[in-house]
Amino acid sequence: MRDTISPIDGSVYRSTKEHGLKDIENTISKAHKVFPAWAALSIKERAKYVTLFVEAIVADKADIAKEITWQMGRPLGQSPGEIQGFQDRANYMIGISEDALASYTPEDQSPGKRAVERVPLGIIGVMSPWNYPFLTSVNAIVPALMAGNVVILKHSFQTPLVAERYAQAALQAGLPKGVFQILHLNHKNTAQLIADPKLGGVCFTGSVKGGIAVQQALTNSFISCGLELGGKDPAYVRADANLEHSIENLVDGSFFNSGQSCCGIERIYVHENVYGKFVDGFVSLAKKYRLGNPLEQETNLGPMVKTEAADFVRTQIAQAIKKGAKSLIDEALFPSSKKGTPYLSPHVLVDVDHGMEVMTEESFGPVIGIMKVKNDNEAIQLMNDSKYGLTASVWTADMDNAQSLGRSIEAGTIFMNRCDYLDPALAWTGYKNSGRGVTLSKFGYEHLTKVKSFHFREIK
């Protein structure tokens, strides 16, 4: 059994039975048997099933929101937004499936017939994390099913009830037995699942270390592997930026979900002409956060997922201060913030540089470093001085300039005047150590299918 320890009060919220090698074997066998029949269905027929699947989850959104909060600590007032986002992404990917999966036919068909079709990969193993347990998993699960694949979901032991909710919804929607299954696995057995020769693809969301482990498990395989990994996402506030808008959105982008977002803001570069005003406004707004019990409606900053995670961020902050950084928020303003607990106040650091880990290594917590820059070139150089490249944002009144700067920024998504957001119509992908592959949009379907060419010659 594996215990899920709630970060709210340290209690055991759920004990989950681990699945073993025999369970993996049986699960893969069921998936392998049902795959041909599921793949043979039309896209419209699959859409009926998957739509019911999604609706079954959304119907319990109030209870699910409470479960999310208890399992990983996000404030209860914010958890329902994840279920709405889940529904929006799922419905979008269902809606574009026919166009995205349409076959390609060259104009010249003489002599005979030529076409290229998209066909499913087979069994897709989906490995999802706890921080956005539905939003990370839906990116792979729904399009995988719509493309004709069958899915085995392995979710984090921090959020096992999310996997159980998916399994329950599959039953309610009447999905054929074996089309969607879950497994609760430790790291060793997860590697066994990934390495099984019957798997057709893997979609993993998690740490860089976890992504490397997935690659190692696939050493003897050439199957499709999508990896959404870490981030150290930067923002650049230009001199012409709307400061009020920039401050409001960047504070939210830094501290929402206690900073536990792969695409959250982790470092900010501000033009010297507006640096002072920006920092003052940022700190003033950050001080208004309410850290505490996430079950209370007035709380907008909950605990981090584990004490160890909070201690990691505390260590980054201490190292930065030792090297000359200055903290602008007194932790005494947040009585709930205590060492030895997962409750950590928001932190704003200035006088930082790239010799400090807080500006180069993923923090995944409520801390932000802000640096002054002289011009666009310096900002771009610093933004690209990272081993990560998931998203980046430019805050400016000049869209043409933002477009030009964006082409020089090494990241999969470039935002202007917004951050920490996924548009399902756009490809979600990472550069460098932030991963490989694509989810969402029509391009996401390309990574959950393979192409098959038909070249027929008619003999008369």
Active site residue ranges: 228, 262
Angle between helices 133-146 and 61-72 (to 10 degrees): 130
> What is d(CA 296, CA 457) in angstroms, rounded to the nearest whole number?
69
- Amino acid letter, residue 368: I
> What is d(CA 133, CA 131) in angstroms, rounded to the nearest whole number?
6
For residue 59 the two structure tokens come to 């119907």
For residue 236 the two structure tokens come to 């650049």
Task: Return phi, psi of residue 138, to 5°.
Answer: -65, -30
> What contacts 24+ positions apart, CB below 8 Å, involve 59-67?
60/165, 64/134, 64/165, 67/161, 67/162, 67/165
CA distances for 49 relative to 102, 152, 169, 442, angstroms: 20, 17, 11, 20
Q: Which helix (H) or strand (E) holds 372?
A: strand 367-373
Cβ neighbour number for residue 308 with a 10 Å cutoff: 9
Decide: 82 and 132 in contact? Cβ < 8 Å: yes
Task: Return phi, psi of residue 272, to 5°.
Answer: -60, -30
